[in-house]
Amino acid sequence: MKKLGLIGGTSYHSTIDYYRMINEKVGDKIGHDQNPELLLYSLNIALMRSGDREKIQEEYLRISKELISIGAEGILICANTPHMVYEFVQAKVEVPILHIGKAIGDFAVKNNFKNLGLLGTKPTVKIGFLEKFIKANYPLDITLPDEEQIDTIHHYISKELTQGIFSDEAKSYFLDQMKSLQEKGADAMIMGCTELPILIKQKETDFQLIDTTGLHVQLAVDFILEE
């Protein structure tokens, strides 16, 4: 099995799911009497809250190199928003960074979706790194929330979800936003924050949810087990 380096902490709630699910899914393939070697670096989420993109990029590069130095053969960034560093870091390290956008794009194309709604933090939606990656590699359109909703979405994610608060109020709000994006033409919804699949489950809506955490985990499992 390949040794995978995980960069988590953004937030630790979803990082726990990444770690658990990778171990469970690898165990399903090879037996639960063994498990993959994982190298986990859990950073302080205050780094992301700072909004200092240069500092964020440099820190993710430093951490990636540290994980590689102790044997990581690939890097998994355990959240959507930190993928803003992908191009900067990937160009400077010799192992692959498993992009969450590939997990999303592969799933959408396989299931014949054409237009994906995107819910996520303000950087994920406004900077456009996820939208850019998907559009550059897949025949897919991306539908974004209305401008006035982006700040509210970010507020719920940063002030509640990443702090372990999963309220009925937040759930109702995000379900309303999904309906709005569906009315604008989206035929599936990117849960573009790794806390969103914790808040809302597929059984709670008829709209197809794209669980970025689950798909990213499967990408990691495939990498770990590939010959």
Spacing of C-alpha 91 from chain mean position: 20
pLDDT of residue 139: 98
Q: What is the DSSP letter of 106?
A: H
4-99+215-225 placed in CATH 1.10.10.10? no
Burial 169-181 (b: 16+ CB within 10 A, else e): ebbebbeebbeeb
Q: Please say whether the beta carbons of 210 and 191 come within 8 A.
A: yes
* Percent of the chain with pLDDT strictly greater than 70: 100
Cα–Cα distance list, 5 to 63, 74, 131, 176 (Å): 10, 6, 25, 36
What is the structure's pLDDT at 204? 95
Residue 227 in this model has a pLDDT that exceeds 90: no
Mean pLDDT to the nearest integer, 113-120:
98
**Cis amide bond preceding 158, omega within 30:** no
- Kindly report, as residue ranges, where domains of CATH 3.40.50.1860 are found in the chain: 4-99+215-225, 101-211
pLDDT tens, position by position, 158-200? 999 999 999 999 999 999 999 999 999 999 999 999 899 999 9
CATH number, domain 101-211? 3.40.50.1860
What is the mean predicted confidence (pLDDT) over 189-216? 95
